[in-house]
């Protein structure tokens, strides 16, 4: 499990170091639409790869897939250190998106697979902490290095992080040389999970408005509040805290007892951002909202992993990660129309309303799972 966290940290560090820097570089090298093209190419490659990973994990050892993820994230990053042609710039970005798509699902599947008995939520929480910390620290550092030193520095960090991850893969390779998601018989419980099953669909539905709110915060808060830089830090810190402990709480209390109140409180705190002119309120609510959204993130993922056997880890992880990415995109695009018509206040009220609606859905449709009732294979 330790090797999974270390390689995960290396991969997410490589990704997030260039996450905000690459759009800025793209504007200089491709033109005024470069940032949009770069981000669109990255996320398109990510989602398309995520769709293919469950198939790959039934046929390729997880260690090899993790190595591919780290190499795809690290090696192409070197192109950003040089004045490369636009087509090569976009090719490198697409390759990194594919690497990130592999990383998100393989790391989650490995964490679920090697979690100690009754501690799956806790293991997913620690992986969530690794992801959240990288997402909080590295994008700002990458942009600062780009603006104050040169593009070569964040590029080298991304390359080095991927290489370090590959170098510490040995324990995972020894344990996971063979696929961990081998196809099982059709009679096995949830061996081939259908996402239309309530056990898997309800956690996805419940987390979608939370991921939309996540996207709204990062997309529109900077223009809505003068204390946005501080509020984004408190939001990120709360998100890291929630990702870490959400799984542990779910292990001990049960997913239903964690996911329902976390979603309900997210609705309350999102509505609190309506008064974005109150600086102290935005900072405090940022911390609280980040914590509840982070908690519901890990709890919803733990709920899905509870109801599948080993063969279903990759598919459940893919569904959750794609749901998260789609939610962020909807938060930036769909809610953007609400912002245009009703301002930031209207956007957060829309998010709060959606969170309230899925809380009601979960109240009647979410089944409990916890360490005491856990029956799926590990």
Angle at 316 (CA atoms; ends 301, 377), nearest 5 degrees:
85
Examine residue 181 and state whether it is found in any structural domain, yes or no.
no
293 and 163 part of one domain: no
| List of residues 6+ apart from 337 with CB closer than 8 A | none
Evaluate whether residue 186 is within a structural domain. no
Over residues 86-95, the pLDDT tens digits come to 889 999 999 9
Looking up residue 87, the CATH number of its domain turns out to be: 1.20.1250.20
Q: Answer with the residue of higher pLDDT: 323 or 247.
A: 323
Quote the pLDDT of residue 297. 93
Contact call for residues 286 and 235 (beta carbons, < 8 A)? yes
Cβ atoms within 10 Å of 264's Cβ, excluding its own: 19
Residues 148 and 67 placed together within one structural domain of the fold = yes
Last residue of a domain, one of 175, 210, 241: 175
Tell me how far apart the alpha carbons of residues 229 and 243 are, in angstroms, rounded to a whole number. Answer: 21
Separation between Cα atoms, residue 298 and residue 127, nearest integer Å: 9
Q: Does 153 share its domain with 36?
A: yes
Q: State the virtual CA torsion across 37, 39, 45, 48 in degrees, nearest 10.
A: -100
How many structural domains are present in the chain?
A: 2
Question: Can you tell me the distance from the alpha carbon of 372 to that of 374, in angstroms, rounded to the nearest whole number?
Answer: 6
| Interhelix angle 313-332/279-306, nearest 10 degrees | 150
> Is residue 182 domain-resident?
no
Q: Same domain for 134 and 238?
A: no
Sole residue written with tokens 């911390």: 287
Shared domain check, 144 and 56: yes
Cα(7)–Cα(288) distance, rounded to whole angstroms?
30
Q: What is the mean pLDDT of residues 101-116?
A: 83
pTM greater than the 0.85 cutoff: no
Same domain? 76 vs 37: yes
Cβ atoms of 211 and 266 closer than 8 Å? no
Pick from 343, 353, 194: nearest CA to 266: 353
Let me know whether 207 and 165 are in one domain: no
User: Is the residue at 114 inside a domain?
Assistant: yes
* C-alpha–C-alpha distance, residues 353 and 358, integer Å: 9
Instruction: State pLDDT tens for residues 147-177.
Output: 888 889 999 999 999 999 998 887 766 655 5
Q: Domain for residue 24, yes or no?
A: yes
Do residues 218 and 347 share a domain? yes
Domain boundary among 175, 190, 224: 175
Domain-located, residue 45: yes
> Which of 131, 73, 63, 76 is closest to 99 using CA atoms?
73
Instruction: Say if residue 208 is in the same domain as residue 162.
Output: no
- Note the pLDDT tens digit of each residue in 348-370: 999 999 999 999 999 888 866 55
- 123 domain-assigned: yes
Domain span including residue 143: 2-175
| Nearest by Cα to 286 from 333, 207, 203, 216 | 216
Give the relative orientation of helices 34-57 and 86-113 as an angle to the nearest 10 degrees: 40
Do 243 and 101 sit in the same domain of this protein? Answer: no
pLDDT per position as a tens digit, 216-242: 888 788 788 888 888 888 898 899 899
Angle, vertex CA 192, rays to CA 191 and CA 198, nearest 5: 95
**In this structure, are 117 and 243 located in the same domain?**
no
One domain for residues 95 and 56: yes
Longest dimension (CA), the chain: 59
Per-residue confidence (pLDDT) for residue 77, from 0 to 100: 95
Closest-CA residue to 16 (of 91, 104, 107): 104
Residue 211 confidence (pLDDT) above 60: yes
Note whether residue 180 is domain-resident: no
**What's the mean per-residue pLDDT of the chain?**
83
Angle between helices 198-224 and 279-306 (to 10 degrees): 160
């Amino acid at each position: 499990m330790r090797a999974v966290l270390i390689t995960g940290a290396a991969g997410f560090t490589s990704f997030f170091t260039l996450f905000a820097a690459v759009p800025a570089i793209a504007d200089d090298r491709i033109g005024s639409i470069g940032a949009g093209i770069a981000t669109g190419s990255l996320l398109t490659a990510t989602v398309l790869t995520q769709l293919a990973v469950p198939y790959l994990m039934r046929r390729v050892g997880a260690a090899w897939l993790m190595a591919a993820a780290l190499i795809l994230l690290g090696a192409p990053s070197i192109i950003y250190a040089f004045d490369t042609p636009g087509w090569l710039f976009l090719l490198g970005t697409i390759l990194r998106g594919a690497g990130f798509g592999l990383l998100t699902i393989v790391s989650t599947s490995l964490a679920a697979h090697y979690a100690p008995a009754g501690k799956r939520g806790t293991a997913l929480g620690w992986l969530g902490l690794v992801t959240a910390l990288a997402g909080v620290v590295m994008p700002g550092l990458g942009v600062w290095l780009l603006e104050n030193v040169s593009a070569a520095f964040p590029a080298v960090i991304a390359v080095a992080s991927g290489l370090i991850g590959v170098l510490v893969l040995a324990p995972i390779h020894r344990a996971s040389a063979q696929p961990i998601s081998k196809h099982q018989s059709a009679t096995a419980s949830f061996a081939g999970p259908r996402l239309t099953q309530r056990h898997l669909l309800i956690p996805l539905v419940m987390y979608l408005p939370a991921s939309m709110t996540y996207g709204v915060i990062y997309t529109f808060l900077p223009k809505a509040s003068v204390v946005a830089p501080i509020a984004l830090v408190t939001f990120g810190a709360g998100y890291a805290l929630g990702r870490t402990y959400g799984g542990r709480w779910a292990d001990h209390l049960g997913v239903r007892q964690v996911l329902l109140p976390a979603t309900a409180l997210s609705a309350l705190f999102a509505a609190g951002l309506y008064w974005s002119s109150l600086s102290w309120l935005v900072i405090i609510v940022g911390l609280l909202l980040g914590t509840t959204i982070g908690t519901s993130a890990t709890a919803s993922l733990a709920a899905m992993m509870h109801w599948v056997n080993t063969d279903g880890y990759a598919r459940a992880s893919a569904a959750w990660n794609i749901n998260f990415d789609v939610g962020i995109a909807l938060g930036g695009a769909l809610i953007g129309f609400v912002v245009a018509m009703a301002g930031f206040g209207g956007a957060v009220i829309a998010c709060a309303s959606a969170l309230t609606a899925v809380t009601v859905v979960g109240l009647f449709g979410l089944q409990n799972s916890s360490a005491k009732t856990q029956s799926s294979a590990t």
